[in-house]
Amino acid sequence: MSKAFRDVELFINDILEAIEKIEMYTSVISYEEFMEMCKQRMRF
């Protein structure tokens, strides 16, 4: 396996892990709660 292929594989695995974390986090809150949190974080 080439280094470039290995780097891509690691990158994709990182993305998949991030998606799993996002799904777990967002499964416990409603869309409205999520949007409110986004609005609060965007305030400067």
Domain ranges of the chain: 3-42
**Which residue has tokens 């499964």?**
27
Distance CA 30, CA 19 (A): 17
pLDDT at 44: 56
Q: What is the pTM of this model?
A: 0.58
Long-range contacts of 35-42 (CB under 8 A, 24+ apart): none
Q: What is the pLDDT of residues 1-44, one digit of tens each?
A: 678 778 999 999 999 999 999 899 889 999 999 899 889 988 75
pLDDT at 15: 97
Q: Letter for the amino acid at 38?
A: C
pLDDT at 9: 93
Answer whether 34's CB lies under 8 Å from 26's CB: yes
**Which residue has tokens 């892990």?**
17
